[in-house]
A and B are shown apart, each in its own frame.
Chain A
Amino acid sequence: MKIPFIDKRLEDIYSKVLNGSRLSKKDGICIYKTHDLIGLGQIANHVRKSLHGNKAFYIYNMHLNYTNVCKNRCSFCAYAKDDGEKGAYVWSIEDIEKKLLERIDEPVKELHIVGGLNEDLSFEYFINLLKTVKKIRPNATIKAFTCVEIDYLSNLAKLSIKETIQKLKDAGLEMMPGGGAEVLNSRIHEALFPKKIGHKRWLEIVKAVHKAGIKTNATMLYGHIETTEERVDHLISLRDLQDETHGFSAFIPLAFHSKNTQMSHIPSTTAIDDLKNVAAARLMLDNFDHIKAYWVMIGEKLAQVALSFGADDLDGTIIEEKITHTAGATSATGLTKDQMEEMIIAAGFTPVERDSFYNPIK
């Protein structure tokens, strides 16, 4: 297909894409800098369609945020609390049972479980958490714990990453989300989340996790202090690791929400940046199968548009999103299956309800 570009620099990128050549760092920067949003979207859409045709995926899922008490206190986070602070909570195993049973009649296919680094919880708690979830929801996939939590749990259990993963797998862990990477860069690590693991450790852990046979997602938190170059480097780091492990399933660009954080002076990301991040991911991450438009962060309306800018997955129905809403997200806290399908159809795509591993639900 011939695309009439307004920004002629996109022509080179398009020919590279058509030839199947890998895009360079320079190309990545050009993707972020261009004002030819539609031309860029058309290239990304070409790649998206050649991989997935007209399909747009979503999953019927449920979030469990077992605690908001966290010792890391990253400056971009509105969700974390100190122990004993007003609003701090931790769910007991009984609380978790109750939460699951409240929605037991719903066809939940995946449980997304992440939480803070709460020093009151023992390794046993996490094993029990997974076992309890598996007992109550034997047919739903457990997608739990970011690399940050895995690092913490391995210290807590005094086990290697490999052994830690094995224990968690035995208890029911099947997949891991992609959070905690933020931006894989030491400058940003120092400035925003010095207490959390840095990028070398994050990559080490994710590699060990992939080697242990657990698939993960990958993310990038954008829209705070990162530069364009740092964004592109982040994507290239993920792409390099993916060449080695093939363990990443989807990439999810995460738009920073500043309300109630220590960085509340930073204005929210705009649609153009959100769409560019989707398109950049689709084009740079040539070895990733899936790019998600996370509607919680960019809003349902833009997520629908993003399906034509490189995204093939709208994530889940969720129902009870907490973390981004604490930081001022104005999206719904959940979507019904019908709403999800209508959005996809109205965007001109065919909805495919999937499980955690992108198998269609019959």
Chain B
Amino acid sequence: MDSLNHILKKIEDNQRIDINEGLALFRHTDFLTLANLANQKRFDTHPEKIITYVVDRNINYTNICVSGCRFCAFYEPPNQDQNKGKGYVISKQELFDKIQETIDLGGTQILLQGGMHPDLEIDYYVDLLMYIKDNFDIHIHGFSPPEIDFIANKSCLTISKTISILRKAGLASIPGGGAEILCDDIREKVSPNKCLSEQWLEVMRQAHLQGMRSSATMMFGHLEKDIHIFEHMDKIRRLQDETKGFTAFIPWTFQPDNTKISVKKKTSVEYLRVLAMSRLFFDNIENIQASWVTQGDKIAQTALFFGANDMGSTMIEENVVASAGVDFMLSKEELTRLITKAGFEPRQRDCYYNLI
């Protein structure tokens, strides 16, 4: 109890808490006490009663993936016989139409992500980016670290060189996906063919060093233990001390339907506790995002009182989580209504959290 009071005092005095202190707080603090701490921290960081959101679309350029992560319900294996013809690589026309529609709906960016396709090399990605930039004035937030790591290996390039080539072709920022849990003992179990935590962090480091910003995510609720959640956040916090390149942290819960990992889905209270802890742990990342895609509108709105200051994206299209049996949909009108009803002013933002 004494040690808990000591940790609470540190939070009050705006001192950094370490992994063990975070874990103790997470385990032993009452739900709403944790919420209150996170909420106060959120208002210390963002005194304005504003909740931001971005209007964008997820475009998955391919679902063919050699990674075969056990938590994924979206991918198809490269082998035609195995994927029964369900594998695709997006056509230029389809890409064009999707982006045009995004712009027509007031979108400012696209989130471009896809599988690790064994036949695509850097030229494909460069062509994809240049095609978009030639036709549209839109921010491209794309290629999570495992994709960049894969492209680099595939094309025998360094991470740094790969990023600089993609950047020249039009890539503006990097999404924090594919982080899952940045502990290799867990990664080896859930995503054995995906890059290890050190590579993930290296991609982000190199991108930040080249002046690009990125987000960071955490997918929890599969095979990790509580300690891994804090080790994950600690690794990101350390890199942020070094580079200041992360714009936001986005925790979300693993959705087990249609995947190869059979666990019980994390409940809303467990999600909100982790969200609150992320606000308290990250003294160097300003924005914490609520995940309505995995939690639904009600918990996403509640999350605005558990440390989140951003509602994420209106997501004109989302395929990956939907494949795992979760298909919450929110229009821009509904998203802004939720924010307003919670007593905040909804404001559209860009990828760098500038208000539009």
Contact = CB atoms under 8 A, between A and B. Distances in A.
A267 interface: yes
Nearest to A267: B337
Interface string A248-287: 0000000000000000000100111111000000000000
Contacts, number: 83
Nearest to B37: A4
A39 interface: yes
Contacts of B40: 4, 6
Contact of A305 (B266, B269, B297, B338): B269
Contacts of A267: 334, 337
B305 interface: yes
Interface of A: 3-4, 6, 35, 37-39, 41-42, 45, 267, 270-275, 298-299, 301-302, 304-305, 308, 342-343, 346-348
B267 to A, nearest CB: 4
B192 interface: no
Contacts of B305: 37-38
Contact of B268 (A35, A304, A342, A348): A304
Interface of A, secondary structure class, is helix
Contact of B36 (A42, A275, A348): A42
A305 B276 CA distance: 14
Ranked nearest first, the 7 interchain pairs of A and B with the lowest CB-CB distance are: A35-B343, A271-B298, A301-B268, A346-B267, A271-B301, A270-B341, A347-B269
Interface in B226-268: 264, 266-268
A305 B302 contact: yes
Contacts of B355: none
A152 B350 CA distance: 60
Nearest to A268: B297
A299 B297 CA distance: 11
Interface string B294-333: 0111110110010000000000000000000000000000
B190 interface: no
Interface string B264-279: 1011111010000000
Contacts of B299: 271, 301-302, 305
Contacts of B342: 35, 37, 270, 272
B120 to A, nearest CB: 39
B35 A38 contact: yes
A35 B343 CA distance: 6
Nearest to B276: A38
A75 B186 CA distance: 54
B96 interface: no
A113 to B, nearest CB: 29
Contacts of B334: 267
Given A35-B343, A346-B270, A271 B32 contact: no
9 contacts: A42-B33, A45-B32, A267-B337, A270-B337, A274-B298, A305-B269, A308-B32, A342-B267, A348-B30
A347 B298 contact: no
B124 interface: no
A42 B31 CA distance: 9
B39 A272 contact: no
Given A45-B32, A308-B31, A308-B32, A270 B297 contact: yes
Nearest to A342: B264
Given A35-B343, A270-B298, A305 B264 contact: no
